[in-house]
Amino acid sequence: MSEQEVDKKVIEARQGLIQYIGALITKTGYQGAAARQVVCALLLEEALKLVTVDERIELYSAKPILRATNMILRQRINDYEDEIERQHEELIRTHITNGKVKLEQVIERLNYLIDSAKEVSPNGGNKG
């Protein structure tokens, strides 16, 4: 199968998934953020099952989940930076800054984990 055919199949699969997610949101009985949170939890539970082999999470397969986590943490850092600018009391600014620094350290470690996850070839060796 050519790369274009594969790309087309992936696009079709994504469109089907988007429709399925919309149906899930409707079926939850929740609305707004609550519905999105329930559906997100369901999808992530299934995604974790997908990347688990022999009761262990394959880091290479889980890279998209780790990258999504990274994006969430970076958004939280931006929130911290906005809050620091709004605060006038030094103690609160220091507390928020400490939280930001800790998140930056988590992101740094998460990036290392993402970068170090190697694809495993079918014969069990790393592909680099």
- pLDDT for the residue 101: 93
What is the token pair recorded at 111? 């990036």
Cα distance between residue 58 and residue 60, in whole Å: 5
The predicted model scores a pTM of 0.77
Residue 126 pLDDT class (50, 70, 90 cuts)? low
- Span 94-117, average pLDDT: 92
Q: For residue 38, is pLDDT > 70?
A: yes
Among 23-27, 72-76, 86-90, name the one with the lowest average pLDDT. 86-90
Q: For residue 13, is pLDDT > 60?
A: yes
Which helix (DSSP H) or strand (DSSP E) does residue 56 occupy? Answer: strand 56-57
What is the token pair recorded at 11? 């696009």
Cα distance between residue 102 and residue 86, in whole Å: 20
- Map out the domains of the chain as residue ranges: 1-50, 54-128
Contact 73, 103 (CB under 8 A): yes
* Contacts by residues 99-105 (CB-CB < 8 Å, ≥ 24 positions apart): 103/73, 103/76, 103/77, 104/77
- pLDDT for the residue 23: 95
